[in-house]
Amino acid sequence: MLVLNLFSNPFFFFCFIAALILALTVHEFAHAWAADKLGDSTAKHMGRLTLNPLAHLDPIGSIFLLLAGFGWGKPVPVNDRNFKNPAIDTLKVSVSGPLSNLLLAVIFAIPIRFLDLPANTNLLFQVIVSINLILMTFNLLPIPPLDGSSILRIFLGESGYAAFEQMGIYILIAILFFTPLISIIIKYVAGNIFIFLTNTTPILF
C-alpha cells in the first residue's frame, strides 16, 4: 500500500504531500479560471479563483490519493446557464483541470530529462510529475462526476447525460471497489507518459 511506503521515508512523504497539494490546487484553480473566462463567475464569487490550497482540497479525495494512488479535489461550482454554449463550454472547463496537470508534469519533467539534478530535487520533481499524471488520467475517465464525462454530454444530449450522471457516482464506486480496472488504466497511461516525458523509470506506478 502506498501509505506504508510514504511513512517509511519521511522525505518521500514530504514530496508526496507537496506534490498532492500543488496538483489538486492548480487543477481546481484551472476549472475556476476557465469558467470565469467563459462567462460564469460562480466559482470566483465563492472564493475558488485562488491558488490557496485550503480552498480546493477535498479531505476524502486527498485520502483516496494517499491510500489508493488516485483521488480528487473539491469540485468547483459551475453554473452552465451563464455559458453561451453550455455543452461545449462545460467541456472546456472540465478539460482545463486535466490539461493544467499535464502542463505541470511537462514543466517539472524537463529538468529531470535534461539536467543532472541533486538526488532530493530529482525525487521531488519525479513525484510532482507522477501525481499530476495520475490526477490527469483519473479525471479524464468518462464517468460522472469526473471531468472526462463532460464529453458524453455532447453525444448523449442534456436529458441523456442527466440520466447517466445520476448513475455515474454508483458506477464509479463499483469500479473503484470491485475491480482493478481504474488502477490498471492509470498505471498504464500515466506510467507511459511519465517515461516519455522524463526518460526515466516511473516511481509511483
Beta-carbon contacts of residue 22 (< 8 Å; ≥ 6 apart) = 104, 128, 131, 132
Residue 16 grid coordinates: 508526496
Q: What size, in residues, is the chain?
A: 205
| Residue 99: burial class (beta carbons within 10 Å; 0-12, 13-18, 19+) | middle
Sign, Cα dihedral of 29, 31, 32, 37: positive
Whether 90 and 78 have beta carbons less than 8 Å apart is answered as yes
Q: Specify whether 158 is catalytic.
A: no
List 20, 28, 89, 148, catalytic entry: 28
Query: Coil, helix or strand for 81?
Result: helix
Give dist(CA 105, CA 107) in Å, integer: 6
* Active site (catalytic) residues: 28
